[in-house]
Every structure is written in C-alpha cells, then in structure tokens.
Amino acid sequence: MRAPYGLNILDNCLTCPVREEHIFCNLSVHAGQRLNEIKSTAVYPKGAMLFIEGQQPRGVFVLCAGKAKLSTSSREGKTIITKLSDAGDVLGLNSVVSNRPYEVTAEMMEPGQANFIPRESLLQFLKDHGEVALRVAEQLSRNYYTAYEEIRTLGLSTSPSEKFAKLLLSWSTKSPQSDGALQVKLTLTHEEIAEIIGTTRETVSRLFSEFKKKQLVQLKGSTLVIRNRTALEKIVQS
Amino acid sequence: MRAPYGLNILDNCLTCPVREEHIFCNLSVHAGQRLNEIKSTAVYPKGAMLFIEGQQPRGVFVLCAGKAKLSTSSREGKTIITKLSDAGDVLGLNSVVSNRPYEVTAEMMEPGQANFIPRESLLQFLKDHGEVALRVAEQLSRNYYTAYEEIRTLGLSTSPSEKFAKLLLSWSTKSPQSDGALQVKLTLTHEEIAEIIGTTRETVSRLFSEFKKKQLVQLKGSTLVIRNRTALEKIVQS
DNA sequence: AACCGGTTGTGACTGTGATCACACCCAAAA
DNA sequence: TTTTGGGTGTGATCACAGTCACAACCGGTT
C-alpha cells in the first residue's frame, strides 16, 4: 500500500508508536473497537497545517509518522515554536477537551500520517469510558508540565546562550545514548532554532560559531556532535 | 467561630466560592458526601507556603479565602510569578494527577483558608466517580490555556512596557466594570510586578512614572485608575 | 520624638543582543 | 554552464534595559 509523498500507509497507527504513556493503548477490547470506528487516517505532505491557531477545535490528531512543529505567533509576525512533536504525540487535545480555539498552529515538518478523531465523537467516547478520561487527564497534566518547562526557560534564563545550551542538551538526551560521543541530526534551520529559543537568526549563527570555537560542539555534515556536555550544563545554570 | 489571623472560618468552603466552572460543585449527593469525608480545612497566615516547588505532591488545595501567588525560581534566585490565585482556585491539581513534583511554589499573600484533599484519596475518588474525572480534565486544560497565555507574553512581547501594559489591562478587565473609570486596587509591590512581567524593580518604577506622565494611568492612594485604555491596548500590540 | 524595615524614585553607566547590511555558500533548476 | 533562492557567516551600529548607587518616603514600633 503506497501513499503520496513516498510514505507507507500504516494499517492501524493508533497503537503503532510504542509508547508506555500512550493514552489510547491498552484499552479494553470494547473501547478499542469503538475508537477504531470513530477515527480516520490521513496522509500529509511537508508544510501541511493540521490546524491553525485560533480555529475552533475540530478534533484531535494522533501523529503516526513524520514530525510536526507547534507554534504560536503575534500579529506583528513574530513566531515562537513551542514544541516539536513526533510519532505518538496527541495534538489538539487541550482545545478539544475545553472547547476553546486551538492555541497553536501544527505544521508538518516532513511528510507524515495522522489519525483524526472528531471532537464530538471523542467527547462521547470519553463519557462512555470513564477510565479513559483519567488517562486523558494524565496526558493533559503532562502537557502542562512541558508548558511550564517552556515558561521557565523563557522567563528565567535570560541570555540566548543559556537557552541555546539548554536546547542542545535537551536534544542530546533524546538521541541514541551510544557511548560518549553524543550525536544529533540537525534538521532545523537557524531561523527555526531562533524561534524556539526566542532570539534572532543572526544570534543563533553567532552562538554556533562561538560554541564551535570553544570546542563545545562540532558539525559533521548535518549531524551535530556534542563534545563537552558538562561545559554546556555549566552554561545553562550560570 | 473565630480563627487565628482574624479570619472567620467558613463551614464548608468547597462550595462557598460561587463559580460556574468549579470542579467540585454540583456533584451528585453521593459524591458530595464522599468529598466531604476526605477533605480537611485549615487556616493559613500571610506568607504561609501551601507547597513548594519540587516537593512530592501531597494533595490539592482548594482556596476558600485569601489570595495566593504561584511562583517558580531558578537556583540563582531569579523568580517569576506565574499566577495570582484567589478564592475558588484549585492548586496543585496537575502535580497530583500526574504524580510529579509540584512545579510551582504556592504562598499565601494574605491570611486565608483552604481545603486540603490528600493525593491518594482524590485519585481513588476520581476512579470511583468517572464523571468528575472529566471535570478535572477540563480544569487541567483551562490551566494549560493560562500557561500558554504566559508563554505568549514571555516569548512574543519583547519590551517590558508591552508586558506591563498587558498586565494592567488584564487587571482592569477583572475589576468592577463600573462605567468609564476603571479602578484597580494595587496590592502588589513593584518588586512583585517585576516578577510577573519578568523584569527588574527599577524598570517597573520607571514604567509607572512614564505611564503617569503620559496620562495613561493615575494613582489615587492605593488604587490605580486606568485613564486611557485604548492607548494601553495600542502599546500591547505595538 | 527617633528609629527602623520595607518600599519607591531616579540618576549614571554599561553590556548585550536586535537591527541592518552585505558577502558567501550550496543545491536545485533552467 | 548560469541562475536563482534559501540558508548561513559576520561586521558596524545603537537603543534599551539591567546593574549599581543613593536619597527619599512611609507606616509601624519602641
């Protein structure tokens, strides 16, 4: 089965990304069947918008393949990226549960696939299956935590270098923990990095130069190598 | 019935603050009784810490009287106030639901009273009463929204004056909407205001002078009068 | 009265990062 | 090949807000 954008369609992607905390995993047989009835799968090209900040919530998206960036922006055009999502993430849950407009824009950064569950169906489903509602509550509080992490970085760490170091470290922990040399595939542009840490493209460029000069990081093709983790950690809490 | 700190103890303060969205209101008789069994009431002096950032979650607090400030701070001592809570607010819910450390410190800004519901009891209660779990989910997503508001102000609005104007406006909308002259009781120190908008005490001082000079606001005793609302709104989205 | 702690006003100085400007690189298209 | 366009490096400039310093203020206590 072949989809556009050179992507294999996954049969049932509600459960495909193996995640302990996945809220739609390990459901009762009955609930699982019901969920399968109300979900629908779609494939998206790079740049596709799953939803846009301010829209009324249509439903939630469960990302099965591909990466998406969540961002919010001001009228004057300044944008901040608040989260990078990948397979397994549930997008739009808060808006659906509280019935408020999407608070972010979700844009595919690469071709991908997602399950869609319409708002009404999901809410009915949650009413019918109380045990899942609690799972949803847990997921929401996890979201809340990451939001607070964001608040802390934006509000407490003043200098761009601090935030930049923090970002690099957060990447290095997610990457394959093979021995000493920590490697990260670099898929973002400097502009995007700037939007994550809330600064300008030029500053990010300068930070890269600076960190390279200080032997903190090194660039091999498009993979970034963290050479001095402890030094980075020191910058973070300087 | 008289309590310390010159405060009247309220008989049942789970329901006292009249709030449409109060998660523990309008419960079934059975659930209401159960809730009354597991809650306990206490009175707190000014400066009392309900809980501290990093502590394991003991339970939730339902504020009945008095105001509390929620803050988070870095090792170097920089602090940001993320929310001002008053009667009716539920504090510590996220931490309890997700069983992670309190992400903020909750400190009473004036003498007050709060109900405490221990973690284990609450979780059991939620399992037994699925309909309340959904209410909790709704509350959590509301929390998420205010967190996002915070992210937007910290990340998108660059200048202190912008954030300051935003803060003043948010105050003026909450205050009694009596005709034109918007008045706000000013209970915070400049230092605290600085911690809300993420700047220094001196800058707040200067902003006050500047806004007074520009006839945007006026200080009558300890009440702040918003003289030119539209001008403030213009500063916000400048 | 005098004193005190916490708060507020304001001046002088300075470092930092945003802004503008332009050169450069590289891969894909023509 | 040349062209084009998105991405990147880097210098020069400058305004803004953080920092330090000190005076003034205000309400409560002794």
Residue B7's H or E segment, with its range, is: strand B7-8
Q: What are phi and psi of A8, to 5 degrees?
A: -80, 130
Residues of A in contact with B75 (CB under 8 A): 237
Q: Model confidence over A107-137: pLDDT tens digits? A: 999 889 999 999 999 999 988 887 788 888 8
pLDDT value of position B75? 86
pLDDT, tens only, B9-60? 555 555 554 444 567 777 778 888 888 899 999 999 989 999 999 999 999 9
> Cβ B126–A134 below 8 Å, yes or no?
yes
With CA atoms as reference, report the closest residue to A85 among A58, A103, A107: A107
Residue labelled with tokens 């004057």: A76
Higher pLDDT, A224 or B3: A224
pLDDT of residue A20: 45
Nucleotide nearest to B222 (CA to C1'): D26
Nearest by CB: A154 against B94, B142, B154: B154
Residue with structure tokens 């844009």? A107
How many CB atoms sit inside 10 A of residue A154's CB? 22
B119 Cα to chain A: minimum distance (Å): 14
Question: Rounded to an integer, what distance in angstroms lies between the CA atom of residue B125 and that of residue B31?
Answer: 8
Average pLDDT over every residue of B126-151: 88
Q: What is the pLDDT of residues B171-194, one digit of tens each?
A: 887 655 555 567 788 889 999 999
Query: Cα–Cα distance between A168 and A206 in angstroms, integer?
Result: 15
As given in the structure block, the two tokens for residue A123 are 């809410």
The pLDDT assigned to A163 comes to 95
- In three-state secondary structure terms, B44 is strand
Quick check: B197 pLDDT over 80?
yes
Q: Rounded to whole angstroms, how far apart are CA atoms A67 and B236? A: 33
Residue A174 pLDDT = 64
pLDDT of residue B97: 93
For residue B130, list chain A residues with Cβ-Cβ distance below 8 A: 130-131, 133-134
**DSSP one-letter code for A171:** H
CA of B46 to C1' of D28 (A): 17
The confidence score (pLDDT) of residue B8 equals 53
Residue B124 near chain A (CB below 8 Å): no
Q: What predicted TM-score, i.e. pTM, was given to this entire model?
A: 0.87
State yes or no: pLDDT of B218 exceeds 50. yes
pLDDT tens, per residue, chain A with 238 residues = 444 444 555 555 555 444 445 677 777 788 888 888 999 999 999 889 999 999 999 999 999 889 999 999 998 889 999 999 999 899 999 999 999 999 999 999 988 999 999 999 999 998 888 778 888 888 998 999 999 999 999 999 889 999 999 999 998 876 555 555 677 888 899 999 999 999 999 999 999 999 999 999 988 888 899 888 889 999 987 6
CB contact under 8 A, B127 and A150: no
Six token digits for residue B180: 């034109």
Tens-place pLDDT, residues B66-120: 999 999 999 888 999 999 999 989 999 999 999 999 999 999 999 999 999 999 9
Q: Which residues in chain A are contacts of B152 at CB distance < 8 A?
A: 72, 74
Please tell me the predicted confidence (pLDDT) of residue B19. Answer: 47
Strand nucleotide closest to residue B213 (CA to C1'): C9
Q: Which residue of B has its CA nearest to A104?
A: B148
Reported as half-sphere exposure (CB side, CA atoms, 13 A), residue B35 has a value of 20
Protein A127 CA to nucleic acid D24 C1', in Å?
Answer: 63
**Res B3: pLDDT:** 47
Q: How far apart are CA B134 and CA A137, in angstroms?
A: 8
- At residue B57, the 3 state secondary structure works out as coil
Please check whether residue A147 touches B, CB under 8 A: yes
Rounded to 5 degrees, φ, ψ at A154 are -70, -40
Contact B142, A103 (CB under 8 A): no
Question: Which residues on B lie below 8 Å from A143 (Cβ)?
Answer: 144
Residues A136 and A45: their CA atoms lie apart, in Å, by: 28
Phi, psi of B88 (to 5 degrees): 105, -25
B153 interfaces chain A, CB cutoff of 8 Å = no
Which residue is nearest to the C1' sugar atom of D17, using CA?
B203
Contact residues on chain A for B104, CB-CB shorter than 8 A:
148
Taking the Cβ of residue A196 and every Cβ of chain B, the question of whether any pair is shorter than 8 Å is answered with: no
Q: Is-contact B189 B199, C-beta < 8 A?
A: no
A200 touches strand C (CB under 7 A): yes
Distance of alpha carbon B154 from alpha carbon A128, whole angstroms: 39
Helix then strand count (H, E) for chain B reads: 8, 13
